[in-house]
Amino acid sequence: MQPETQKLLKSFYKILEKERTYSHALGVMYFDLETICPDKAKEDESDVLDYFANRSFKLKNSDRAKSLIVELYARRDELDELDKVLIDKEYEEYLKTKNFTPQFDLQLNRVFSRAGIDWHRAKEASDFSLFRSSLGKVIEYSAKAVDKRENKLPSLYDNLLDDCEKDVLQADLDGFFAELKEGLIDLIDRIKNSKHAIRTDFLSRKAPIYKQQQFSEYLLSLNGFDFTRGCLTTTEHPFTSDVAHHDARVTTHYYEDMVLSNIYSVIHEGGHAIFMQNEPDEDYDHYINDSITNGMHESVSRFYENVIGRSRAYVKLIFPKFREIFAQEFPDVTEEEFYEAINVVTPSLIRTEADEVTYGLHIVIRYEMEKMICSGAVSLDEIPATWNRLYKEYLGVEPTCDRDGVLQDVHWSGGFGYFPSYALGNAYNAMYLDEIKKDLDFYALIESGDFDTVNKWMRTHVFAKANRLTPKEWIVDITGKSLTPKPFLDYLNEKYKDIYRL
């Protein structure tokens, strides 16, 4: 590296260090907003968040920062591997935002922040009309932001998809979802015709929150979550926040009469956190941490939640602790009944409570909805009815209120393009499940509780390069194959053939 290039890089690192300080503070404030902030204080806290996010924007979009990015991109061949990744990422972001003014960036942040607040209130009231105006502004400002890009793709939705899952666009997803939908509908039809009855009467029994919290902490520790570098608390819509290098925060939502909801929310969010806690230190040193795409992240969270968490091996491992903690609530439930109940297939309204098989259709519906919304094929006023129609058509269930329908997810308050990541995550993790089973006696390790060996494999093969590769490059690096839903469909068919005696 030439001395001048080294000098430029050092100067840019100083800007990134300041930006990291803002990011840390913003992470703490956002976590506070979504967890313990009083309702009447949320608008004020959102304004503070937006102010500091705008200060961060100004720092990264100063004339000096922009000139450094452009100069370093022109010298990228002199950079080492990780700094090339950094500058490529920063240059791409520069092309997206170079035409933003600080005023527009502040407006954009305020639109999303207020939409989040309005969503919470609309969901509580089960009234889409309370969210309608904010959602309209999200669509309007998302389009304005894309229009200002110098590296924009032809369609609005492709740009938003690319933001969530680099280089994975509608041309990739249309065929993917068509194959996935066909395979899921076929399996669901066969399950419907099964004569095997699964006991579910105990799923709505009440259990004290303090016991659920105790079991949650046990599960997180068991799976490899480091409580010295993270924490667990509650929120309305569970999420995981990567506040800082040693600060990955998990949230859940406890329901007294839905114990499984919390169990699998905690395992899912804990999967995100384990990914965060295992990002290579060198990635932090080169400021490329947190470059993992949504699909990559969802592959890991759903790997722990479903591939591990709903497996017979994992149930065998955790059931003694479950019976110990919930001895009064579930004294008559056997291990086999518990295993079958957590895997029962029942078309339902709520995505986050859906079983592994029908879950994919919840994502198909959202993908089709997002395409229609972003193309203008449905108006704001048509969104709830369109949502309800697709649920009736694909899953045979129909929402009776907005809370259980179009308002169930917070995601659209922050824009579009995230939902496909959940289905991509299922496909990715089924592909690397095939690989881990070649190298390890995977389910025997799970049954014995040897997460050190499992997580070591994940660090080496799944986590190590996630910040450094695009999703298409990453899944090929792990498996030698390109994205396909077939391994996921094969996984489901094999598992549910056993459960439902198909």
- Whether residue 1 has pLDDT greater than 90: no
CATH domain 170-499 topology: Neurolysin; domain 3 (1.10.1370)
Distance (Å, whole) CA 270 – CA 301: 7
pLDDT digits (tens, 9 = 90+) for 274-300: 999 999 999 999 999 989 999 999 999
Terminal CA-CA length for the chain = 62
pLDDT digits (tens, 9 = 90+) for 103-134: 999 999 999 999 999 999 999 999 999 999 99
Average pLDDT, the chain: 97
Compute the C-alpha angle 259/265/266, nearest 5°: 95
Distance (Å, whole) CA 499 – CA 344: 9
- Whether residue 405 has pLDDT greater than 90: yes
Distance (Å, whole) CA 338 – CA 200: 9
pLDDT digits (tens, 9 = 90+) for 188-218: 999 999 999 999 999 999 999 999 999 999 9
Three-state SS for 233? strand
In the structure encoding, which two tokens stand for residue 89, read together?
A: 């990422």
pLDDT digits (tens, 9 = 90+) for 164-179: 999 999 999 999 999 9
Which residues have CB under 8 Å from 392's CB, separation 6+?
Answer: 398
Question: Distances from the Cα of 440 to the Cαs of 433, 444, 457, 462, in angstroms?
Answer: 10, 9, 9, 15
pLDDT at 444: 98
> Which pLDDT band holds residue 47 (cuts at 50, 70, 90)?
very high
> Starting from the edge strand earliest in sequence, which strands make up the sheet with 230-234, in order?
230-234, 247-252, 240-244
pLDDT at 309: 98
In the structure encoding, which two tokens stand for residue 81, read together?
A: 């591997």
Please identify which residue in the block is written with the tokens 């960036």: 105
How would DSSP label each residue in 102-136? HHHHHHHHHHHHHHHHHHHHHHHHT-THHHHHHHH
pLDDT digits (tens, 9 = 90+) for 333-389: 999 999 999 999 999 999 988 999 999 999 999 999 999 999 999 999 999 999 999
The torsion region of residue 70 among left (phi > 0), alpha (psi -120 to 50) and beta comes to alpha
Q: Which of 117, 115, 108, 111 is nearest to 33 (CA)?
A: 117
Mean pLDDT of 240-256: 96
Distance (Å, whole) CA 13 – CA 6: 10
Distance (Å, whole) CA 433 – CA 413: 33
Amino acid at 48: V
pLDDT digits (tens, 9 = 90+) for 433-453: 999 999 999 999 999 999 999
pTM of the predicted model, to two decimals? 0.94
The backbone torsions φ and ψ at residue 258, rounded to the nearest 5 degrees and listed phi first, read -140, 70
Helical residues (DSSP H) of 409-461, grouped into ranges: 420-439, 442-448, 451-458
Please identify which residue in the block is written with the tokens 């105790």: 214
Task: List the domain boundaries for the chain.
Answer: 3-152, 170-499
Which residues have CB under 8 Å from 324's CB, separation 6+?
Answer: none
CB 304 within 8 A of CB 271: yes
In the structure encoding, which two tokens stand for residue 448, read together?
A: 């014995």
> Which residues does the annotation mark as catalytic?
269
pLDDT at 201: 96
Distance (Å, whole) CA 342 – CA 202: 11
CB 167 within 8 A of CB 471: yes
pLDDT digits (tens, 9 = 90+) for 58-93: 999 999 999 999 999 999 999 999 999 999 999 999
Q: Which of 59, 34, 58, 56 is nearest to 45 (CA)?
A: 34
> Which pLDDT band holds residue 237 (cuts at 50, 70, 90)?
confident
